[in-house]
Chains A and B, each alone.
Chain A
């Protein structure tokens, strides 16, 4: 079974490229490759003794795609397909409406043809993954349109959208409207939406990885590391003792059991500069304890965790007014990789107090394991969580977008391309509904 990846826009292409690069180098390191056997070909195919990514690169301007393709070929380990890309000469101008209403439909046939060709090369399609930013013009506008086309052509396949959420400051506020429209539309089309926030990843780079001058490659590499630790092969409950071949499907069935709740966030532990890894020792109890508290206090890094946030006691679910409220989850997926993985004690994640009342903790908690270490970390744990983690950014975003809509700022740029005020109101309504659902988890 294979997964076809669609990389959309500048961000999507840059992140996707780092992901494939990491997957290959991790698979090659220490001859671990042979252990995975054919399941490594989930994301890549073997073609004339070369690894070719099962990916399609889409962008409205050619510079980034050219860069990605060149860098991949130069790595010597893998490359992109020779004709698996689509680009135009001129970008979308950061305009969601331009991407969604004009450029998407205009180039629909060509992009669909590329996807179909790639899917036909798979013996069996395990799902589609679309990587994009939620703030640009192409990634978000054309990306949403392409997701809609994918949903039309493959109504029964799993579609996972990976979104990069822009920096909270230092980005134009018009970005807020783009995020609003993208999320509102994707919610109806996608099976699961995995979000990485630039701010969080930036902090990981500066505080955990000690990078002084952070560039976008550093940020993308961290995102690729977190995504890779989810998608590399594991032994799951359904995989019957062999490495699972359906990561997206199992992810979706584990975490997004309810159509109102599709927003997923990822945290990984440990994360440190590669020079320090050799000098550190890891223990499963320590890692898991930190990861659990990161989940409860909604912190994405193992530094600066708020240990004050606690689950309510067994006596009742009443929360004291003084203690900070904790992050309620709908479902969690814990992925453990590395030495002694079978001895890891994960009972802390099965506590019913972590989860919402209408889903039992046996169903809400899932675990995947692999004895193979990932990306040079002797032991690593990743938590993919469907929880209230994204509630606050989402709420802030909708609030700001509503203020802008009320003053009609930038609206003329969208109306020019065919998005009406009705469409805006529909998007607001569906996102307010999502916010309300997530708030009611606790």
Chain B
């Protein structure tokens, strides 16, 4: 069984990460009724016999390691340059789960400045970060993947987060790096978020293996849709209580905090991606297979996620029609986690990770049904990667996560670039960045040109859409 390490950086990264651990514990508690430390748990958690922070005394000798869960310790590194969020985690119900060696905090924060996060703190804390990452990696038997969770618009998540990404590539080049990036929406409260995002984008394009972009606005729309559904009050539309993708019910935290609903969606995304690596199924899909199958060209590794179902209705039992509806929904633009319409753009490849009691024939039937309406690139007409995991998520009988390598990310990037240009043209707020040691104007121009060439690559692929590309002439064999 392979292990993954989660690195959460910045306020957003840590809040999402906190929801992720809560839901992961809930999911495992649901499946693992006997409290035995099994292989599924070992992919994200360690079973500690003793923990220095909790008394420093070896626990009772009658707890045999590997059998009963003594202390579950998540394989995570929490980084933040201001203490507020991490302190809140440590005072909340998850306090017993983390130990102090996994945390890295500072006092003053990055001031929403990518350069401060990347250069100043990046250099100052480089040794400590590498040290903590190494410790986390050493505890793993077989480390498969690093999950990095951060936001693009802030200072720490964006700046220090991408610095950590670079360090991961240097120190652990063979380990897959999957980054979940929360992109700012147009009405973001951070004014310099376009600068931070563009500077971070370049790092993501160069150093990440896969990026799962998530936009705040889409999360808000999904949350509103669910709330609307639960308030309609029609008899047949009562949502089963802990089944919606935004609910944290059954987890450790009590009252729901403001961003919790949105963060739960991202946490569910991470849980579903790793489900096949943790639980058994008839068609396993490991994490390194995601990058292998969905990334035909090294720089085009932005995979648009979509999760279905968003909720389960309480009363009806599930006929097959519901199953097909789930597949159709996965491709509708309401369920994508960025504001994009993949159906009208070009697919380079698509992965479907199904959980629950779904058979390969259902999967194939739905792929056959949906294929004609989805435009795929000419040399990858059958570009589907599928995974079947038999354990469904909590509260649902089955679920589907679709990851699409699709040119519909292009409008998001173009919009980001326009917001950047508006500020950059006037050189607004630029001095805050240039004052930082190590930061130069070239960084900005290089970042923009990197994004431009990325957009250009997507453009070239789009240009082939719908065009009948002639087959390349085959090798001729002498008869």
A interface, CB within 8 angstroms of B: 10, 61-64, 67, 88-91, 93-95, 137, 167-174, 202, 206, 212-217, 219, 398-400, 402-410, 412-413, 428-429, 432-433, 436, 440
A contact residues around B349 at 8 Å (CB): 172-174
Q: Across the interface, which residues of A come within 8 angstroms of B386, CB to CB?
A: 170-171
Nearest B residue to A136 via CB reads: B289
Please report which residues of chain B, range 274-295, place their CB below 8 angstroms from some CB of chain A when the two chains form the complex.
Answer: 280, 282-284, 286, 288-289, 291-295
- Residues on B close to A: CB < 8 A? 1-2, 141-142, 144, 280, 282-284, 286, 288-289, 291-298, 349, 359-364, 367-368, 371, 378-386, 469, 471-472, 474-475, 477, 479
When the two chains form their complex, are residues A402 and B284 in contact, meaning their CB atoms are under 8 A apart? no
Residue in B2, B360, B474 with the greatest tally of chain A CB atoms within 10 Å: B360
Of listed A219, A398, A410, residue having the most chain B CB within 10 A? A410
Shortest B234–chain A CB gap in Å is 31
A167, A215, A402: the one within 8 Å of B359 (CB): A215
28 chain-A/chain-B pairs, Cβ below 8 angstroms: A61-B1, A63-B1, A63-B284, A89-B1, A90-B2, A91-B284, A93-B286, A93-B291, A94-B293, A95-B288, A137-B289, A137-B292, A169-B368, A169-B371, A169-B382, A172-B349, A173-B379, A173-B383, A174-B292, A174-B293, A214-B360, A215-B359, A402-B475, A403-B378, A405-B472, A407-B379, A409-B379, A429-B477
In the complex, residue of chain B having the shortest beta-carbon distance to the beta carbon of A170: B367
Question: B288 and A90: CB pair below 8 A?
Answer: yes
Q: Given the complex of chains A and B, what is the CA–CA distance between A402 and B475 in angstroms?
A: 9
Contact B359 A214, beta carbon cutoff 8 Å: yes
Q: How far is the CA of A88 from the CA of B141 in the complex (A)?
A: 11
Contact B142 A216 (CB under 8 A): no
Beta-carbon contact of A173 and B475 below 8 Å: no
Q: With A90-B2, A403-B472, A432-B474 in contact, is A213–B359 under 8 Å at CB?
A: yes
Within the complex, which residue of A62, A169, A173, A217 is in contact with B1, where a contact is CB–CB below 8 Å? A62
Distance in angstroms from A49 CB to nearest chain B CB is 32
Indicate if the CB atoms of B289 and A169 lie closer than 8 Å: no
Q: What residue of chain A has the Cβ atom nearest to residue B276's Cβ? A: A63
Task: Out of A61, A94, A206, name the residue touching B361 (CB < 8 Å).
Answer: A206
When distances are taken between beta carbons in the complex, the residues of chain A under 8 Å from B472 are: 402-403, 405-406
* A101 CB to nearest B CB, Å: 14
Q: Is the CB of A429 within 8 A of B475?
A: yes
Asked whether, in the complex, the Cβ of A399 is within 8 Å of the Cβ of B474, the reply is yes
Which residues of chain B have C-beta atoms less than 8 A from A62's C-beta? 1
Whether A170 pairs with B292 at a CB distance below 8 angstroms is no
Which residues of A lie under 8 Å from residue B296 when comparing CB positions?
Answer: 174, 409-410
On whether the beta carbons of B359 and A400 are closer than 8 Å, the reply is no
Residues from chain B with a CB closer than 8 A to the CB of A213 are 359, 361-362
B366 CB → nearest A CB, Å: 9
Q: Please, which residues of chain B bring their CB within 8 A of the CB of A405?
A: 472
Tell whether A170 pairs with B471 under 8 Å between CB atoms, given A90-B2, A90-B142, A400-B379.
no
A437 and B179 CA atoms in complex are apart in Å by 49
The answer to whether A215 and B360 touch across the interface, beta carbons within 8 angstroms, is yes
Residue of B nearest to A425 (CB): B475
Q: Hey, which chain A residues are within 8 Å of B284, CB to CB?
A: 10, 61, 63-64, 91
- Please indicate the chain B residues that have their CB under 8 angstroms from the CB of A10 in the complex: 283-284
**Bound CA–CA A400/B280 (angstroms):** 33
Known pairs A216-B360, A402-B471, A403-B472; list 7 more (Cβ under 8 Å).
A61-B284, A62-B1, A171-B385, A206-B361, A213-B361, A412-B298, A429-B475
Given contacts A170-B364, A412-B297, contact A433 B283 (CB under 8 A): no
Bound state CA distance, A216 and B295, in angstroms? 27
A399: chain B residues at CB < 8 Å are 471, 474
B17 shortest CB reach to chain A, Å: 24
* Assembly CA distance A428 to B475 (angstroms): 8
- Give min CB distance, B363 to chain A, whole Å: 7
CB closest chain-B residue, reference A395: B474
Q: Roughly how many angstroms separate A432 CA and B477 CA in the complex, as a whole number?
A: 7
Q: How far is the CB of B397 from chain A (nearest CB, A)?
A: 14
Which of A67, A93, A174, A403 touches B288 (beta carbons < 8 Å)?
Answer: A93
CB contacts (< 8 Å) of B297 on chain A: these are 408-409, 412
Q: Which chain A residue has the least Cβ–Cβ distance from B352?
A: A170
Give the docked Cα–Cα distance between A432 and B2 (Å): 40
Is the pair B292, A93 in contact by a Cβ cutoff of 8 Å? yes
In the complex, the 3 A-B pairs of residues with the closest C-beta atoms, listed nearest first: A93-B288, A89-B142, A214-B361
> Most chain-A Cβ atoms within 10 A of its Cβ — which of B144, B286, B379, B383?
B379
Residue picked from B141, B383, B386, most chain A C-beta under 10 Å? B383
Closest A residue, CB atoms, query B144:
A90
In the assembly, what is the distance between CA of A436 and CA of B479, in Å? 8
Q: Contacts A170-B386, A215-B360 hold; do A402 and B477 have CB atoms under 8 A apart?
A: no
Whether A169 pairs with B361 at a CB distance below 8 angstroms is no
Q: How far is the CB of A10 from chain B (nearest CB, A)?
A: 6
Chain B residues within an 8 Å CB radius of A137: 289, 292
Q: Measured between alpha carbons, how far is A407 from B368 in the docked complex, in Å?
A: 26
Knowing A10-B284, A62-B1, the reply to whether A171 touches B142 (Cβ < 8 A) is: no
Name the residue among B1, B298, B363, B475 with the largest chain A CB count within 10 angstroms.
B475
Q: How far is the CA of A400 from the CA of B376 in the complex (A)?
A: 14
Contact indicator B382/A170 (Cβ below 8 Å): yes
Closest CB in chain A relative to B349 CB, distance in Å: 6
Given contacts A170-B367, A410-B296, contact A216 B379 (CB under 8 A): no
Return chain B residues, CB-CB under 8 Å to A94: 286, 288-289, 292-293
User: Chain A residues near B477 (CB, 8 Å)?
Assistant: 429, 432-433, 436
Closest to B366 in A: A170
Chain A CB count within 10 A is highest, among B141, B349, B382, B386, for B382
* Contact present for A409 and B361 (CB under 8 Å): no
Q: Nearest CB to that of A213 among chain B residues? A: B359
Which residue from chain B places its CB closest to the CB of A219 in the assembled complex? B360
Give bound CA distance, A61 to B5, whole Å: 19
Please state if A404 and B380 are interface contacts (CB–CB under 8 Å): yes
Known contacts A63-B280, A89-B142; A167/B383 CB under 8 A: no
Q: Please indicate the chain A residues that have their CB under 8 angstroms from the CB of B293 in the complex.
A: 94, 172, 174
A171 to B477, CA, bound (A): 29
Chain A residues contacting B361 (CB-CB under 8 Å) are 202, 206, 212-215
Please give the distance in Å from A399's CB to the nearest CB on chain B: 6
Residue of A nearest to B288 (CB): A93
Given contacts A213-B362, A432-B477, contact A403 B379 (CB under 8 A): yes
Q: Is B382 a contact of A173 with CB atoms below 8 Å?
A: yes
Looking at the assembled complex, report how far the CB atom of B248 sits from the nearest CB atom of chain A, in whole angstroms: 29
CA distance A252 to B418 in the complex (A): 67
- Which of A63, A429, A440 has the largest number of chain B CB atoms within 10 A? A63
Query: Residue B381 contacts which of A173, A219, A409 (CB distance < 8 angstroms)?
Result: A173
Closest to A88 in B: B142
Inter-chain CA distance A90–B144, complex, in Å, is 7
State the CA gap A212–B379 with chains docked (Å). Answer: 33
Q: Please state if A404 and B384 are interface contacts (CB–CB under 8 Å).
A: no
- Contact residue among A202, A212, A403 (Cβ-Cβ distance under 8 Å from B364): A202
Known: A90-B142, A93-B292. A216 touches B283 (CB 8 A): yes
* Contact residues in A for B1 (Cβ distance below 8 Å): 61-63, 89
Nearest Cβ in chain B — how far from A213, in angstroms?
4
A216: chain B residues within 8 A (beta carbon)? 282-283, 360
Which B residues are CB-close (under 8 A) to A413? 292, 295
Chain B residues whose CB sits within 8 angstroms of the CB of A90 once the complex forms: 2, 142, 144, 286, 288
Would you give the shortest CB distance from B150 to chain A, in whole angstroms?
25
Which B residues lie within 8 Å of A409 (CB)?
Answer: 296-297, 379-380
Task: State the CA gap A407–B359 with chains docked (Å).
Answer: 34
**Minimal beta-carbon separation of B326 from chain A (angstroms):** 16
- B399, chain A: closest CB distance, angstroms: 18
